[in-house]
Every structure is written in structure tokens, then in C-alpha cells.
A and B are shown apart, each in its own frame.
Chain A
Amino acid sequence: MFKTLRHLLLGGTAIALSAGAAHAQTPGPAGTAAGTPIVNQAKATYSVNGTPATVDSNRTEFLVDRKVDFTVVAQTATTQVNLGQREAVLTFTVTNHTNSRQDFLLDPDQQNLPLGILPGIPGSDDFDVTNMRAFVDDGDGVYDADDTRTWLDEMEPDETRTVFIVADIPATGTPTLAHVSLHVIAAEGDAKGTQGTALIQTSLGAANRDDQVDIVFADNDSDGLALGDLPRNGQARVYAAYELGNRTPGLSVLKSSRIVSDGVNTVNMRALPGAVVEYCLLVSNANLLTPATNVVLTDKLPGKTTYVPGSIKVGGTCLLGGEAQDDDADDANDGKLFGGSYDTATRTVSATLPSVTGPVPVAAVFRVTID
């Protein structure tokens, strides 16, 4: 028993040690750093005429080359701006996947393509911004006066930084979209505070040596179109747009009523005393692009009528009514998407709608009896 335990403990220690060593040499996703020598040496044990001996092989060594790879992502495809807005900001992130420290040059430019073919961006470009510049974030994720550096300096492998395009919007006209792109170019690192020169891939035909670090471009075609970027060119181009447009929901309410029963007739019912009348409030949003949120409808009951308890239905059409609501003011207790209540003191019906999108009108219905 003791022997087994000791054996286990010894085995455990050995495994833990080797696991620790393996962990220490495991690089990040960018891989083994460029310039790292990889040295191999084998060993043989043997015996000749019963005499044991060992021999080491030669040491073979080569250097890991530099695999230049990085990604640029626009945080939002379109950003809402106003006419005459100064220093309107678009946000991008740049991630260095290269197995070495790199600078990246930033080159913002306008795109004037008439068709909406740019990936991720709706519509056609119809205006240009002015005074466009690119700045590197100082770490707080927000563009402010501290962000003055115009290139990415000394990015470590697997590091991500935020970059802004800053531009002024024209004050007049009826424009809608300005397409811009952030063009990023991998550059030489290793000089802090100095903008490196753009990298040039080591020629495939060059007489390469094992003991020199080659530059190998491994970046993809960032727009997937071979339009503004090509695979393996050490560059990336990502698109985004400034958008001007009506962003106010156009809400309107249409009120209608119908007599559900009058106690006498089954067709052509009349507004007799005791008749039940159903009112409908139909909410529409004329702006298809912008949903109206947290819409609250209130309606005071006309005189000489009495509310029919439990008759509020919200979220459907005038005829079908929608979700039945209870009459108390607490909308959280009924597990319904919509809210509805009746206040006996003020004789007011309320309905709450979380969102009214453009294409679909939403109804709130309730019933009263004529006194």
C-alpha cells in the first residue's frame, strides 16, 4: 500500500513538472515569436560487445520567421450623425496576430462607390466628409483630446487597440450616407515612439538562409471582394459609413369603436342603454427604420359609460384584441409582454407597448357599457 502510494506521488510530481515546463514554452495564439531559434538534437544509447555507450547528434538550428497577420473590425457599420456635426467619430479595432511586435500605419479614405456593394454597409455613398483623420485611442475607448497619435506604435503579439476615424459633416444639403474606409498597413516595429516604415515581404526567390528572419505576409483579403484589399499583402481595409437620416419615430393613433351587443338585436346593434361598446386604439409608426419604444396609450372614458372589468387586450389587431391584461396598475405581475390597467378614480384606461415597429400597427382594445 505504502509503495503504491509513493509510486503515485512520484509519478504525479514528474507529470506536474513536465506540464509546467510545457506550459512555459507554449506561446499565445500568434505563435512562437519571430527570431526564436528552434534547435533539435537527438541522442542515442547503444551497446557494443556489451559495453553501453551514448552519442549526441549534431545540433540543427533555424529561426522562426515573421508571420505578418492582423485584423481590423469596424465597431458599427453605420454611425448616426447630424448636419454640421464636427469631429464625428467612427470606431475600429485593430488586432495584431503577428508573432512579433509591429507598428501599423493608418490611412483613412473616402469611398465613392455608387452602389451599395460594400460589405456590411447599406445604401449608396452620396456625400463626402471633410477634415478626415485617424487617431489611436489612449486606452479609454472614447475619442477625446488625448488621442493624438496617428499610427499604432509597438503593438505586441495578440494585442488589440482601438482606432478612431474623425471627420466633419457638411452643414447643408440632403445627404444620407458617406462611405469611408480605414486602410491599415503593417510596418516595422521595434522603435518606440517612431513611426516604422511599411513592411516589404521577403522575396520568395531570394536566397534565404536559416539564420535570418524573413517577413511572410499571412493576412487575408479583409473585404472578401479583392476590391480594396488583397490576401497576403500586409494590408487591410475595412468600411464604415456616416449616416444622416430621419431617426424620429412617426407615431399616430387611430381610435375606433363598435357595438358588441345591445341586449336586443343580433345584427345592426344600436347604442342603447346597457349596450357594450368596444373601443380600439390603433398605433402606427410611419418611420419604417426607427422603432418607437415604451409607448404608453391613455384614454379617458366618455361620460355615461362604465368600464367592463378585465376587458383590456393589448398587442393584436382591433378585431382580435391581443393579450388579455388585468386591471391593476402593476404590469410586472402578469407575465405579459404588453401592459394594461384601468384607474377607477380617473376613469382612464392605460396600455403600455414595449416597441412599435414601422410595418406593423398595434392595437389596444377595451369595452364599456352605456349607462
Chain B
Amino acid sequence: MRHLALLVLAAPIATAVAAAPPARPLDLSTRVLAEVRERAADGTTRIALAAPTRVVPGDRVTVMLDYRNTGTAPIADLVLANPLPAGMAYRGPAATGPAPEVSVDGRRYAPLAQLTLALPGGGSRAAAAADVTHVRWRLARPLAPGTGGTLAFTATIR
């Protein structure tokens, strides 16, 4: 009796998901932009973001995640995760937008100040930005159809 109820409930949902166009309602894309110094007419310099055509060790980059709900139903429990690419060291959150939760092992996420790293000889030390291996954002509220946003963090080329 109980099994039957579950089946009955599950069947219409499965149908609804299959019928909803498109099959993947979340559109997620990533961009990496290099920080370049631009000289303004008044002689000052400012930091601008440009395509990463010229990037050498020590340069700063901004990693951006663009997300949008292209479906018809709200998207709940949205978690956007970005493992740090090889050759990139985490530096901090971008100037605008929410700061991500970070992790030094891909398992435990917390603000950086609360993370520690085990030392090879025993004991542990406070984690530094360069130790971060994963960043993620959890959206507290469901993403309504047709809405989206951009999240970003900054990193340094190792």
C-alpha cells in the first residue's frame, strides 16, 4: 500500500520533468579574465579585466561563473562549485558579489579563517588563501525562471 502511493506520486513528476523544455534548465558558463593595468588620460592607472591573452606567473585573474535559469520551473538548492584549476592559486573574493565558501580538501567548506591544514610532521596550521582547492556558493533562495547572475573570485597564476 505504501509502495503503491510512492509510485503514484513519482510517476507524474517524472513525466513533468521529461516534458519541460529544455532538459537542463540551468545554463552555467565560466570565464577567466586577466587583470591588466590601464593608463588613464590623467596619468593614473586602473585595473581593468581583459581576455587572458597575456598571462604569466604572478599575474592576477578573475574567475567568473555566469548562471541562468532557462527553464520554466524554479531551481532550488543551487550549489555552484569551482575546483581551483592547476596552476592557479586562490586569492580572495571578487570586489563585488558574495564571497564564496572555500575548502582546502574539497570536503569541508567554511570561511578561510576557520580552516586548518594538517602538517606532514603532525599538528596543523591555519590555511592560507593559496591552500584553497575548491570554492563554492550556495544560493539560499530558489532561482526563478528567467533569472540568473554572476559570481566571481580572484586568483593568482602560480
Interface residues of A (CB under 8 A from B): 12, 14-16, 18-19, 21-22, 25-27, 30-32, 34, 36, 38-53, 55-58, 60, 62, 64-67, 99, 202, 204, 208-210, 214, 216, 218
Residues of A with C-beta under 8 A to B13: 49-51
| Docked complex Cα distance between A229 and B56 (Å) | 23
Segment at the interface with A among B23-31, B38-46, B91-99: B23-31
Query: In the bound complex, what is the Cα–Cα distance between A313 and B107 (angstroms)?
Result: 75
* Pairwise interchain contact B65-A42, C-beta atoms closer than 8 A: yes
Contact assessment for B87 and A25 in the assembled complex, using a CB-CB cutoff below 8 Å: yes
B86 pairs with A30, CB closer than 8 A: no
- Taking CB atoms, residues of chain A closer than 8 Å to B52 are 62, 210
Given contacts A38-B157, A48-B75, A209-B53, 19 further A-B contacts (CB under 8 A): A25-B86, A25-B87, A31-B58, A38-B85, A38-B86, A40-B32, A42-B28, A42-B30, A44-B78, A44-B81, A45-B81, A48-B25, A50-B13, A57-B30, A60-B30, A64-B56, A67-B57, A214-B53, A214-B54
Contacts of B56 in A (CB 8 A): 31, 34, 64-67, 99, 216, 218
A65 touches which of B55, B67, B107 (Cβ 8 Å)? B55
Interface residues, chain B, with chain A CB atoms under 8 Å away: 13, 16-17, 20, 24-26, 28-32, 51-58, 63, 65, 67, 71, 73-83, 85-88, 104-107, 117-118, 120, 131, 133, 143, 157-158
Hey, which chain B residues are within 8 Å of A15, CB to CB? 104-105, 117-118
Those 10 A-B pairs whose CB atoms lie nearest each other, nearest first: A31-B57, A208-B53, A67-B56, A62-B52, A57-B28, A32-B87, A42-B82, A46-B78, A15-B118, A18-B105
Contact yes or no, A210 B86, CB < 8 A: no
Is B79 a contact partner of A62 (Cβ separation < 8 A)?
Answer: no
Q: List 12 A-B contacts (CB under 8 A).
A: A19-B118, A22-B133, A30-B57, A38-B85, A42-B81, A49-B17, A50-B13, A65-B56, A66-B56, A67-B58, A210-B51, A210-B52
Q: A237 to B30, alpha carbons, bound, how many Å?
A: 44
A55 contact from B26, B120, B131, B157, Cβ within 8 A: B26
Cβ–Cβ < 8 Å partners of A25 in chain B = 86-87, 158
CB distance from B136 to the nearest CB of A (A): 9
> A residues within 8 A CB of B28?
42-44, 55-57
**Cβ distance A16 to chain B, nearest Cβ, rounded Å:** 7
* A62: B residues at CB distance < 8 A: 32, 52-53, 55
Q: How far is the CB of A232 from chain B (nearest CB, A)?
A: 12
Min CB distance, B50 to chain A, in Å?
10
Which of B71, B143, B157 meets A64, CB within 8 Å? B157
* Complex CA–CA separation, A47 to B107 (angstroms): 21
> Are B63 and A208 in touch, CB under 8 angstroms?
no
For B107, give the chain A residue with the smallest CB separation.
A14
Q: Is the CB of A64 within 8 A of B131?
A: no
- Say yes or no: B30 contacts A48, CB within 8 Å: no
- Given A31-B57, A32-B57, A209-B53, A38–B31 Cβ distance below 8 Å? no
Task: Give the docked Cα–Cα distance between A19 and B105 (Å).
Answer: 8
Chain A residues contacting B63 (CB-CB under 8 Å) are 40
Cα A65 to Cα B57 in complex, Å, equals: 8
Q: Are A39 and B85 in contact (CB under 8 A)?
A: yes
CB distance from A49 to the nearest CB of B (A): 6
Contact of B54 among A27, A47, A58, A208 (CB under 8 A): A208
- Interchain CB contact under 8 A, B105 and A14: yes
Residues of B within 8 A of A56 (CB): 28
Chain B residues with Cβ below 8 Å from A208 are 53-54
Q: Which one of B16, B54, B76 lies within 8 Å of A46 (CB-CB)?
A: B76
Residues of A within 8 Å of B65, CB to CB, are 42, 57
A56–B81 Cα gap in the complex (Å)? 10
Whole-angstrom distance from the CB of B135 to the nearest CB of chain A? Answer: 9
Contacts of B131 in A (CB 8 A): 22
A38 vs B28: C-alpha distance when bound (angstroms): 19
Q: Per a CB cutoff under 8 Å, which of A18, A47, A66 touches B75?
A: A47
**CB neighbours of B25 from chain A (8 A):** 48
